[in-house]
Copies of this chain bind each other. A is one copy, B any other.
Amino acid sequence: MLFERIESEGLAHYSYLIGDQREAVVIDPRRDCEVYIEKAYSEGLRIKHILETHRNEDYVIGSVELAARSGAEVWHADAQWDYEYGESVEDGQTWKLGRLMLRAIHSPGHTPGSMSYLLHDHAGAPWVVFTGDALFAGDVGRVDFLGMDRAEEMASLLYDTVFNKLLPLGDEVIVCPAHGAGSLCGSAIAERLWTTIGLERRHNPKLQYTAETEFVAHVARELERPPYFRRMEKWNLEGAPPLGSLPAPKPLSPDEFTEQAKQAMVLDTRMELSFGSAHVPQSLSIWLKRLPAFAGWFLPYDQPILLVSETENSVQATRYLIRMGYDNLAGYLSGGMLTWHTAGLESKSIRTVTVQQLCHLLDEGEETAILDVRSDEELEKAGRIPDAQHIHITQLPGHLGEVPRDRTVYIFCGSDVRSMIAASLLQRGGWTDLAVVLGGLAGWNSVTCTLE
């Protein structure tokens, strides 16, 4: 028997490969799907079925790609929508898998046609339930995808799913959701790497609202929705274009890069401190590890993308971008910024200051603008900077005009990664006097400014 959880870091997406006696199933595969093929092969398993828990909105599902390469059949949840590939799952449908058995449980709420899949072990006992985006460790799925006007209706469906379908499976059943901590699909997913129905029943904050009205009141909230979700929804209905193998972006000389940059978006995935020191003019800073979380907010689909990165990281960046449908990678700056500078090309920088330095300036009465790009939730939890302007990083592109241009803008986030994203957006917009505060609010809270 094989039971593997495959995590796609950054998106905190979990997919699962389950196999027994030459047969395997993959639940919610990702698009760069060689991992399933290789693991299945090395265990002597043939991938027979691909099960989707719902029409995903936060990544390109790999069903079409994996089906093309493995010969497996694709099974959709959310049959109310029109798919251009695969078959629709029906509530109660079962799949044999060697000595194991999977059964579909209609689990609406996150989407109208979400499915959970209950895995019975070889003795027939209910063992593991794959809950998709219905139930997470410490959270439930968001219900605002059909619009806020239908959020309460969806929350009510989710209440029924959770309390009348999932919890009754028994405290002992293991819960395998589609996301872990860090996903955009649940605002408060806990860092409990493996969980059970009982652990959720007892410790999941949302599941403490046992009255439906209370549950609905707390769950029917609007959450942010990055623009790229729309493309994901479309592609996951149509089936994404096949890749074959992971594309290798082309190495470009500074001259070639400069030429192509005229039509392209330059994405710099280096750490924020490197970006601060020097970067290609007009480039956007998103540190590699945060790329899955932020690319979808700021990267367009209608322009080619050029990468600036440490060489070793281009493969990973490509993987991340492909998972979000950014297939139009035009190349990367070969040799990195060192080559750029030795070619005598001009670069830009963005200043950094430590919290202490900023405190000192503030103490001395310097007139400054402080821009805080954290979310409302973070403001509540970690506190506010006095007199700071607040625009959440995700909303910045539409609210640039509100940021002052006549003073140094000191930018805060939780640490300093998002501040550099913000700084790069502002610099692209023409701002010249910017400073990223190192350590951000965490640093601010660790020192004492004498501010009064």
Q: Which residues does A use to contact B, with CB under 8 Å?
A: 1, 3, 22, 34, 37, 41, 44-46, 69-70, 121-123, 125, 127-128, 170-174, 190-194, 196-203, 244-245, 248, 250-253, 270-271, 273-274, 276-278, 310-312, 315, 334-335, 337-338, 340-347, 349, 352, 354-356, 414-417, 438-440, 442-447
Q: Which residue of B is nearest A175, CB measured?
A: B172
- A172–B197 Cα distance when bound, in Å, is 7
On whether the beta carbons of B337 and A273 are closer than 8 Å, the reply is: yes
* Residues in chain B near residue A447, CB distance under 8 A: 344
* Residues in chain B near residue A245, CB distance under 8 A: 34, 69, 244-245
Q: Which residue of B is nearest A198, CB measured?
A: B172
* Residues in chain B near residue A276, CB distance under 8 A: 277
Q: Which residue of B is nearest A340, CB measured?
A: B439
Selected contact of A203 from candidates B125, B253, B442, B443, CB within 8 Å: B125
* Residues in chain B near residue A354, CB distance under 8 A: 278, 341, 346-347
Copy number of this protein in the oligomer?
A: 4
On whether the beta carbons of B274 and A446 are closer than 8 Å, the reply is: no
On whether the beta carbons of B69 and A439 are closer than 8 Å, the reply is: no
* Residues in chain B near residue A352, CB distance under 8 A: 277-278, 349
- A344–B443 Cα distance when bound, in Å, is 4
On whether the beta carbons of A248 and B338 are closer than 8 Å, the reply is: no
On whether the beta carbons of B22 and A334 are closer than 8 Å, the reply is: yes
A394: min CB distance to chain B, Å:
21
On whether the beta carbons of B277 and A343 are closer than 8 Å, the reply is: no
A5: min CB distance to chain B, Å:
10
* Residues in chain B near residue A312, CB distance under 8 A: 312
Chosen A-B contacts, 5 in total, with CB atoms closer than 8 Å, are A44-B335, A125-B199, A171-B196, A172-B202, A342-B443
Given A22-B251, A122-B191, 6 extra CB contacts under 8 A: A172-B199, A174-B194, A341-B442, A342-B440, A342-B442, A344-B442
On whether the beta carbons of B274 and A194 are closer than 8 Å, the reply is: no
Selected contact of A41 from candidates B121, B200, B248, B349, CB within 8 Å: B248
On whether the beta carbons of B202 and A125 are closer than 8 Å, the reply is: yes
Q: Which residue of B is nearest A242, CB measured?
A: B244
* Residues in chain B near residue A340, CB distance under 8 A: 439
On whether the beta carbons of A123 and B274 are closer than 8 Å, the reply is: no
- A110–B104 Cα distance when bound, in Å, is 40
On whether the beta carbons of B192 and A121 are closer than 8 Å, the reply is: yes
- A194–B2 Cα distance when bound, in Å, is 11
